Amino acid sequence: MDEPPDLGQLFHRLNNQLGIILANAELIEAKAADEVTRSRASQVVASVLEAIETALDLRTRLRH
């Protein structure tokens, strides 16, 4: 069973926003002038990747 179209659109929007956050965190991580900033950006990258995985898991569970 597929989720309603509005729910699919919400997941799409969520993934787009998480992708933007991820790209910016990776950019900050790559250009960080100090280890503290690089470490914090790495934590954001890891958290966003976990959030993307959670969103995919939710979407899968809602389909079944």
Per-residue pLDDT of the chain (64 residues; tens, 9 = 90+): 465 668 989 999 999 999 999 999 999 999 999 999 999 999 999 999 999 999 999 999 988 8
Which of 28-58 are b and which e, b meaning 16 or more Cβ less than 10 Å from the residue's Cβ?
A: bbeeeeeeeeeeebeebbeebeebbeeeeee
The pLDDT of residue 59 is 93
The pLDDT of residue 5 is 66
The pLDDT of residue 63 is 86
- Do the beta carbons of residue 45 and residue 26 sit within 8 Å? yes
Query: Would you give the distance in Å from CA 60 to the centre of its chain?
Result: 16
For the chain, give every domain's residue range.
5-63
The pLDDT of residue 4 is 63
Q: Measure the CA–CA gap between 34 and 28, rounded to whole angstroms.
A: 11
